[in-house]
Amino acid sequence: MITLAKNIQHLVDFIVAKARSHNEEEIFKLNHYVWIALLMLPVAIGSGAYNVYVNNYALAFLIILFSGHMLGSLFLIPTIQKTYLLYHGANLLYTFLILYMVFHADAENSRILWAYIYPVGIIFLFGHRLGFLWSCLLLGMIIGLFLFVPEIHTVYNIPFQVRFGISYLVVAVISSWVEYHGSRSHQALLLEQKLLNEEIERRKILEKELQRLAQTDPLTSLYNRGFFLESAEKELKRAKRYNTPIGFAILDIDHFKNINDTFGHPVGDSVLQVLAKHCLNSLRETDLVGRLGGEEFAFLLLHVNEEQARAKMEKLKEELSQLNVAYNGDSTLNFTVSIGLAMLSEHIKSLDELYIHADKKLYAAKDAGRNCVR
């Protein structure tokens, strides 16, 4: 039974997924409507066949008309925007069908019992408020038949009419109460799901922010020392595996201590930020750049030979020397840099060795008078 219910739910989901509306409440009602249509279809077909068998062709026609509408409406779901028209159409047909069965009683006077299905189905479809109003409206129509059609008293006596009205109303009230609490649970579930999705999105954003903070230098927004060296290690292993050229450069701002002492640390920070921004804009996306600490920066240049790497660093040195760093309103200052460049070779086995080699070249650039590439 559970397996059958799951299979029906899969079919319901398949049909509902084709709906043009994406409103949650409308999709919720449509899900109910498809369930009712699928459950009522075999019942309607069976009842129609039985009435044909007993030569009650008028009732059989109404039942077939109703079941045909329910079945046909499922094929209209992908094409109709206002799906509630399907619900109301089915409701009117079933209301007329119930009234017909009440008025044209069978030999056992049992057709009126089909009216008990109405409040259960209509409240399930329209919700506890509108569904209960429709249920009361049908009960009022049936009472109207009891009161204003004299010959109906020969079919249903007064005590039966009273018991039917009370029992029908009890079914409607219980169905409405069950649907009310079910809708509250559904709304609470939707709210909880919404809050959960918001929390997941918030955590994803927070995780990305934490990852960014763990990888970048807060002042310059470049890779920090740890993440840069970790990334450089991976690229170095890849370069050695595929025998591709790679260069490692260390940049140091000349006389940076004097800039801090003369102009103040905020101006020194501005120099670092201007340098970092220019490096990001001038280098290729495949190159890596990071701040090692203080005024020292490192570059990993991929797929370049020594001549290309040196030309790139010479150009960067010249561009940085022409930058103007604003301070105290209209005042500006310039700075220069020294760069040490080392290339991956068969004699260098690790990133540490490449780092040390580039660092020695940096000191050679400083000894040569700074503002140069060695």
What would the DSSP string read from start to end of 108-167? TS-GGGGGGHHHHHHHHHH-HHHHHHHHHHHHHHHHHHHHH-GGGGGTS-HHHHHHHHHH
DSSP string, 206-251: HHHHHHHHHHB-TTT-SB-HHHHHHHHHHHHHHHHHHT--EEEEEE
CA atoms of 44 and 39, how far apart (whole Å): 9
CA nearest 293: which of 349, 354, 238, 226? 226
Query: What letters, b where the CB count within 10 A reaches 16 and e where it falls short, cover 238-260?
Result: ebeeeeebbbbbbbbbbebeebb
For residue 257, what are its two tokens? 């201590």
Please identify every residue annotated as catalytic.
295
Give counts: helices (H), strands (E), the chain.
12, 6
